Amino acid sequence: MTTDLLDLASLLTDEERAVQSRVRALVDREIRPQIADWFERAVFPRELVPALAAEGLLGMHLTGYGCAGRSAVEYGIAMQELEAGDSGIRTFVSVQGSLAMTAIAKHGSEEQQSAWLPRMAAGEAIGCFALTEPDAGSDPGAMRTFARRDGDDWILDGEKRWIGLASIADVAVVWAQTDDGVRGFLVETSTQGRPTPGFTATPIAPKLSMRASIQCDIALDGVRVPESMRLPDARGLRAPFECLGEARFGIAWGALGAARDALETTLAYVGEREVFGRPLAGMQLTQARLAEMVLSLQQAQLLALHLGRRKDAELLRPHEISMGKLASCRAAIDICREARALLGGNGITLDLSPMRHAANLESVRTYEGTDEVHTLVIGQALTGISAFRG
């Protein structure tokens, strides 16, 4: 039973449909059979990384250095399929590719790109993106992490929080204040098998969301970084924001994968579940809720596709990405909650996906910009007036 009542598949090219089929098959083969166990045990399946790399999903929107060089729409389609499996798995791909690898690709030197991007695309090295701090989330300009010059090196001191993959990362893209504004640094988390002095990454636990993913606190206590590891083209907050834009675009697609999976799971359930001698799917109230769910899903999918086409045409603007993330996250979490309700008591178990998706989406709608932040971005685009400090 299809949820694509508008036949949006007909708007995709043959190559885009091929990407969709390949990633959907990977999810069906590698993720669906085990995701409930990973979520319950709160483990990230690092053994999955080679399969993601082999499919060309790590830094897939980048060109060169072993990256797949896929279009924005193809990237979005892949994120939607991965998140139909689980938001935590899609988050790994986003952190690795849209954040860490993009930072190196956009702002790194040729030497840095050659050293890291091929290994990261192959899944041989993992990266993280250290921007958020305990007291600087929605306002990254308030970051306190500081890098001071010491001869040919930099000394980093500070704290970061909610940093995906940090405890398993080989390289951390760390953003810090300097005497000359915000700069980015590549911090190797270990050298010759020994932890880098002063760098500590501690997984945050216990969590009720994103349990098949890793988020960490980072402590930077006098971490020494050579000048050669500073990102030379990263100047000011615009640099990390360019990376966040890539991740937010992926979320605008990805969240809808969770929503679609929740709807498909619910359709199958209500078609088999009998109430008062007839299928639950035959009840008017059930059909009304399902109709609202598919309407909301397909509206958001149309918006995501439109944004993808604009991105491929190099026309996409930051406020459009905010519209996509805000609309998709709102729609997805509402769909997953409605799906859980239609599943009744069985909906609170890990045998069925909607409540797991809904829990994950509480994180997805918060990271890479909260609903409120994206609302203000849209408001500024409409009025020309920034209200962030109003």
Check: CB of residue 246 under 8 Å from CB of residue 344: no
CA distance 174 to 243: 13
**Res 139: pLDDT:** 87
Q: Which long-range contacts (CB under 8 A, 24 or more apart) does 369-377 make?
A: 369/138, 369/244, 369/248, 369/322, 369/325, 370/138, 371/326, 371/329, 371/330, 372/138, 373/138, 373/322, 374/322, 374/323, 374/325, 374/326, 375/326, 377/318, 377/319, 377/322
Catalytic residue among 30, 55, 81, 368: 368
Give yes or no: 368 in active site.
yes
Q: β-strand 146-150 against 153-164: which pairing, if any?
A: antiparallel
Instruction: Judge whether 126 and 49 are in contact, CB under 8 Å.
Output: yes
- pLDDT given for residue 364 in this prediction: 97
For residue 29, the model assigns a pLDDT of: 97
Residue 102 to residue 173: CA distance in whole angstroms: 10
Q: H or E stretch including 154?
A: strand 153-164
**Under a CB-based contact definition with an 8 Å cutoff, are residues 193 and 224 in contact?**
no
Q: Which residues on neighbouring strands pair with residue 219, listed in sequence order? A: 159, 200
Confidence band of 137 (pLDDT split at 50, 70, 90): confident
Largest CA distance in the chain: 80
Please report the pLDDT score of residue 162 as a whole number: 97
- Please list the residues that pair with 177 across neighbouring strands: 146, 182
Q: How far apart are CA 183 and CA 161, in angstroms?
A: 18
Mean pLDDT of 318-347: 97
Please determine, for residue 155, whether its predicted confidence score (pLDDT) is greater than 80: yes
Q: Judge whether 78 and 24 are in contact, CB under 8 Å.
A: no
Closest CA to 352 of 260, 264, 267, 265: 265
Alpha-carbon Rg for the chain, nearest whole angstrom, is 21
Determine what percent of the chain is predicted with pLDDT higher than 70: 100
The pLDDT, as a whole number, for residue 39 is 98
pTM of the model: 0.95
Angle between helices 371-383 and 318-342 (to 10 degrees): 140
Between strands 199-203 and 194-195, the pairing is unpaired
- Give the Cα separation of 298 and 174 in Å (integer): 38
Please determine, for residue 390, whether its predicted confidence score (pLDDT) is greater than 70.
Answer: no
The model's pLDDT over 163-207, given as tens digits with 9 standing for 90+, comes to 999 999 999 999 999 999 999 999 999 987 899 999 999 999 999
